[in-house]
Amino acid sequence: MRSRYRILAIVEGHGEQRAVPVLLRRWFQHRRFRDFETPELAIRALGSGALKCPHDADDELGIEYYVEMAAVQKPDGILVMLDSDDECIERARTPSRLGLGPELVQRARTVAPHIPIEVVVANREYEVWFLAALASLRRAARIPRGNRLSTPLKNIETLRDCKKRMAQLLGRPYEPTTDQPDLTELLPFTPSMAHRSRSYRKLLKALEALTRAARQNRRQPSGRASVREQGA
Protein backbone atom coordinates (compact mmCIF):
# COMPACT_ATOMS: atom_id res chain seq x y z
CA MET A 1 0.00 0.00 0.00
CA ARG A 2 1.40 3.38 -1.02
CA SER A 3 1.89 5.99 1.68
CA ARG A 4 -0.13 9.18 1.65
CA TYR A 5 1.18 12.34 0.04
CA ARG A 6 2.63 14.65 2.69
CA ILE A 7 2.60 18.42 2.24
CA LEU A 8 4.59 20.64 4.61
CA ALA A 9 3.85 24.32 5.18
CA ILE A 10 6.31 27.08 6.06
CA VAL A 11 4.93 30.29 7.59
CA GLU A 12 6.08 33.34 9.54
CA GLY A 13 3.39 34.02 12.16
CA HIS A 14 2.34 32.20 15.33
CA GLY A 15 -1.27 32.16 14.16
CA GLU A 16 -0.44 30.83 10.71
CA GLN A 17 1.52 27.97 12.27
CA ARG A 18 -1.79 26.34 13.19
CA ALA A 19 -4.09 28.08 10.71
CA VAL A 20 -2.36 27.06 7.48
CA PRO A 21 -2.46 23.33 8.28
CA VAL A 22 -6.18 23.79 9.02
CA LEU A 23 -6.57 25.43 5.63
CA LEU A 24 -4.68 22.64 3.89
CA ARG A 25 -6.69 19.86 5.54
CA ARG A 26 -9.97 21.58 4.75
CA TRP A 27 -8.94 22.04 1.14
CA PHE A 28 -7.89 18.38 0.83
CA GLN A 29 -11.31 17.44 2.16
CA HIS A 30 -13.02 19.89 -0.19
CA ARG A 31 -11.22 18.32 -3.16
CA ARG A 32 -11.77 14.82 -1.75
CA PHE A 33 -8.04 14.21 -1.74
CA ARG A 34 -8.06 11.55 0.96
CA ASP A 35 -4.52 10.53 0.12
CA PHE A 36 -3.02 13.88 1.20
CA GLU A 37 -2.04 14.96 4.71
CA THR A 38 -0.15 17.71 6.54
CA PRO A 39 1.18 17.93 10.12
CA GLU A 40 -0.75 19.78 12.82
CA LEU A 41 1.88 22.54 12.91
CA ALA A 42 3.58 24.35 10.06
CA ILE A 43 7.30 25.11 10.19
CA ARG A 44 7.53 28.66 11.54
CA ALA A 45 10.22 31.09 10.49
CA LEU A 46 11.59 33.16 13.36
CA GLY A 47 9.88 36.51 12.92
CA SER A 48 8.39 38.68 10.21
CA GLY A 49 10.76 39.06 7.29
CA ALA A 50 12.82 35.97 8.14
CA LEU A 51 11.88 34.28 4.86
CA LYS A 52 12.70 37.34 2.77
CA CYS A 53 16.08 37.99 4.39
CA PRO A 54 19.30 36.94 2.66
CA HIS A 55 20.23 33.36 3.45
CA ASP A 56 22.16 33.01 6.72
CA ALA A 57 22.06 29.51 8.18
CA ASP A 58 23.79 30.55 11.42
CA ASP A 59 21.07 33.11 12.18
CA GLU A 60 18.26 30.92 10.75
CA LEU A 61 17.36 33.46 8.07
CA GLY A 62 16.20 33.16 4.49
CA ILE A 63 13.72 30.95 2.70
CA GLU A 64 16.60 28.60 1.83
CA TYR A 65 17.16 27.74 5.50
CA TYR A 66 13.53 26.77 6.09
CA VAL A 67 13.11 24.90 2.80
CA GLU A 68 16.19 22.86 3.65
CA MET A 69 14.66 22.15 7.07
CA ALA A 70 11.47 20.94 5.44
CA ALA A 71 13.30 18.92 2.77
CA VAL A 72 14.97 16.78 5.45
CA GLN A 73 11.52 15.32 6.17
CA LYS A 74 11.21 14.21 2.51
CA PRO A 75 7.77 15.72 1.85
CA ASP A 76 5.87 15.36 -1.41
CA GLY A 77 5.43 19.13 -1.56
CA ILE A 78 6.12 22.36 0.31
CA LEU A 79 3.80 25.36 0.65
CA VAL A 80 5.48 28.60 1.72
CA MET A 81 3.07 31.31 2.87
CA LEU A 82 3.82 34.84 4.04
CA ASP A 83 2.26 38.32 4.20
CA SER A 84 3.36 40.84 1.61
CA ASP A 85 2.71 43.88 3.84
CA ASP A 86 3.68 46.68 1.41
CA GLU A 87 6.58 44.98 -0.32
CA CYS A 88 4.74 43.81 -3.44
CA ILE A 89 3.44 47.34 -4.01
CA GLU A 90 6.92 48.78 -3.59
CA ARG A 91 8.42 46.27 -6.01
CA ALA A 92 5.71 47.00 -8.59
CA ARG A 93 6.95 50.59 -8.77
CA THR A 94 10.23 49.31 -10.19
CA PRO A 95 9.35 47.25 -13.30
CA SER A 96 12.86 45.87 -13.59
CA ARG A 97 12.75 44.41 -10.08
CA LEU A 98 11.66 40.82 -9.65
CA GLY A 99 8.39 40.31 -7.75
CA LEU A 100 8.52 38.94 -4.22
CA GLY A 101 6.94 35.59 -5.11
CA PRO A 102 9.17 34.90 -8.14
CA GLU A 103 12.28 35.90 -6.18
CA LEU A 104 11.48 33.58 -3.28
CA VAL A 105 10.66 30.65 -5.49
CA GLN A 106 13.92 31.03 -7.37
CA ARG A 107 15.78 30.96 -4.08
CA ALA A 108 13.81 27.93 -2.88
CA ARG A 109 14.66 26.10 -6.10
CA THR A 110 18.39 26.33 -5.40
CA VAL A 111 18.15 24.15 -2.29
CA ALA A 112 15.31 21.74 -3.16
CA PRO A 113 14.93 21.36 -6.94
CA HIS A 114 13.55 17.84 -6.50
CA ILE A 115 10.51 18.85 -4.39
CA PRO A 116 7.37 20.63 -5.71
CA ILE A 117 7.16 24.05 -4.03
CA GLU A 118 4.56 26.80 -4.07
CA VAL A 119 5.08 30.28 -2.63
CA VAL A 120 1.89 32.19 -1.75
CA VAL A 121 2.01 35.87 -0.79
CA ALA A 122 -1.11 37.14 1.01
CA ASN A 123 -1.93 40.74 0.08
CA ARG A 124 -1.38 42.44 2.48
CA GLU A 125 -2.05 40.18 5.46
CA TYR A 126 -3.53 36.72 6.05
CA GLU A 127 -6.48 38.46 7.74
CA VAL A 128 -7.57 40.05 4.47
CA TRP A 129 -9.03 36.65 3.58
CA PHE A 130 -11.26 36.81 6.66
CA LEU A 131 -12.48 40.23 5.54
CA ALA A 132 -13.21 38.83 2.08
CA ALA A 133 -15.16 36.00 3.77
CA LEU A 134 -17.19 38.37 5.94
CA ALA A 135 -20.53 36.89 4.88
CA SER A 136 -19.41 33.39 5.88
CA LEU A 137 -18.15 34.63 9.24
CA ARG A 138 -21.41 36.46 9.83
CA ARG A 139 -23.50 33.37 8.99
CA ALA A 140 -21.46 31.40 11.51
CA ALA A 141 -22.19 34.08 14.14
CA ARG A 142 -18.52 35.04 14.49
CA ILE A 143 -19.29 38.63 13.49
CA PRO A 144 -22.20 40.48 15.17
CA ARG A 145 -24.76 41.54 12.56
CA GLY A 146 -24.49 45.22 13.40
CA ASN A 147 -20.73 45.36 12.78
CA ARG A 148 -19.95 46.46 9.25
CA LEU A 149 -16.89 46.91 7.04
CA SER A 150 -16.73 50.40 5.56
CA THR A 151 -14.63 49.42 2.53
CA PRO A 152 -16.45 47.74 -0.41
CA LEU A 153 -15.53 44.08 -0.79
CA LYS A 154 -14.35 44.71 -4.34
CA ASN A 155 -11.51 46.81 -2.88
CA ILE A 156 -10.71 44.42 -0.06
CA GLU A 157 -7.03 43.91 -0.90
CA THR A 158 -6.29 47.63 -0.72
CA LEU A 159 -6.88 47.62 3.04
CA ARG A 160 -4.19 48.17 5.66
CA ASP A 161 -4.30 47.15 9.33
CA CYS A 162 -6.45 44.10 8.67
CA LYS A 163 -5.93 42.79 12.21
CA LYS A 164 -7.27 46.06 13.62
CA ARG A 165 -10.31 45.87 11.33
CA MET A 166 -10.95 42.30 12.43
CA ALA A 167 -10.95 43.45 16.07
CA GLN A 168 -13.51 46.13 15.20
CA LEU A 169 -15.72 43.59 13.44
CA LEU A 170 -15.42 41.02 16.22
CA GLY A 171 -16.13 43.65 18.87
CA ARG A 172 -13.19 42.43 20.96
CA PRO A 173 -9.39 42.16 20.73
CA TYR A 174 -8.23 40.04 17.83
CA GLU A 175 -5.92 37.20 18.93
CA PRO A 176 -4.00 35.70 15.97
CA THR A 177 -2.91 32.53 17.79
CA THR A 178 -6.52 31.50 18.48
CA ASP A 179 -8.58 33.47 15.98
CA GLN A 180 -6.61 32.54 12.88
CA PRO A 181 -7.12 28.75 13.19
CA ASP A 182 -10.73 29.24 14.31
CA LEU A 183 -11.71 31.60 11.48
CA THR A 184 -9.77 29.61 8.89
CA GLU A 185 -12.30 26.83 9.46
CA LEU A 186 -14.87 29.15 7.84
CA LEU A 187 -12.99 30.27 4.72
CA PRO A 188 -15.05 29.18 1.68
CA PHE A 189 -13.58 27.62 -1.45
CA THR A 190 -16.00 29.36 -3.79
CA PRO A 191 -15.68 31.33 -7.06
CA SER A 192 -17.13 34.42 -5.37
CA MET A 193 -14.49 34.30 -2.63
CA ALA A 194 -11.74 33.89 -5.23
CA HIS A 195 -13.19 36.81 -7.18
CA ARG A 196 -13.10 39.11 -4.14
CA SER A 197 -9.48 38.32 -3.26
CA ARG A 198 -6.80 38.02 -5.93
CA SER A 199 -4.27 36.55 -3.49
CA TYR A 200 -6.80 33.96 -2.28
CA ARG A 201 -7.48 33.02 -5.88
CA LYS A 202 -3.76 32.49 -6.34
CA LEU A 203 -3.69 30.38 -3.17
CA LEU A 204 -6.31 28.02 -4.63
CA LYS A 205 -4.37 27.77 -7.88
CA ALA A 206 -1.22 27.06 -5.89
CA LEU A 207 -2.89 24.22 -4.00
CA GLU A 208 -4.10 22.67 -7.25
CA ALA A 209 -0.62 22.95 -8.75
CA LEU A 210 1.13 21.61 -5.65
CA THR A 211 -1.01 18.49 -5.30
CA ARG A 212 -0.84 17.79 -9.02
CA ALA A 213 2.96 18.14 -9.03
CA ALA A 214 3.24 15.92 -5.94
CA ARG A 215 1.42 13.12 -7.76
CA GLN A 216 3.47 13.57 -10.92
CA ASN A 217 6.72 13.68 -9.00
CA ARG A 218 6.04 10.37 -7.32
CA ARG A 219 5.20 8.76 -10.66
CA GLN A 220 8.46 10.10 -12.09
CA PRO A 221 10.90 10.01 -9.15
CA SER A 222 13.91 10.72 -11.33
CA GLY A 223 12.36 13.80 -12.92
CA ARG A 224 12.86 17.38 -11.84
CA ALA A 225 10.06 18.71 -9.67
CA SER A 226 7.95 21.65 -10.68
CA VAL A 227 8.62 24.82 -8.67
CA ARG A 228 6.28 27.77 -9.13
CA GLU A 229 5.30 30.97 -7.38
CA GLN A 230 1.90 32.38 -6.54
CA GLY A 231 1.42 35.90 -5.31
CA ALA A 232 2.95 39.26 -5.87
Query: pLDDT at position 1, please?
Result: 53
Handedness of CA 110, 111, 113, 119 (dihedral sign): negative
CA atoms of 140 and 153, how far apart (whole Å): 19
- Domain residues for the domain of 19 are 5-230
What confidence score (pLDDT) does residue 207 get? 97
**Dmax (CA) of the chain:** 57
Q: What is the pLDDT along the chain (232 residues), one digit of tens a residue?
A: 568 999 999 999 899 999 999 999 999 999 999 999 999 999 999 877 899 989 998 888 999 999 999 999 999 999 999 987 655 445 455 565 567 788 899 899 899 999 999 999 988 899 999 999 999 999 999 999 888 887 776 778 888 889 999 999 999 999 999 999 999 999 999 999 999 999 999 999 999 999 999 999 988 755 455 445 555 5
pTM over 0.75: yes
Q: How many domains is the chain built from?
A: 1
Give 144-189 as a 3 state SS string.
CCCCCCCCCHHHHHHCCCHHHHHHHHHCCCCCHHHHHHHHHCCCCC
Q: Which residues contact 198 (CB under 8 A, 6 or more apart)?
A: 123, 157
- pLDDT computed for residue 84 by the predictor: 75
pLDDT of residue 174: 96
C-alpha 70/C-alpha 210 separation (Å) is: 15
How many CB atoms sit inside 10 A of residue 2's CB?
A: 6
Contact 102, 122 (CB under 8 A): no
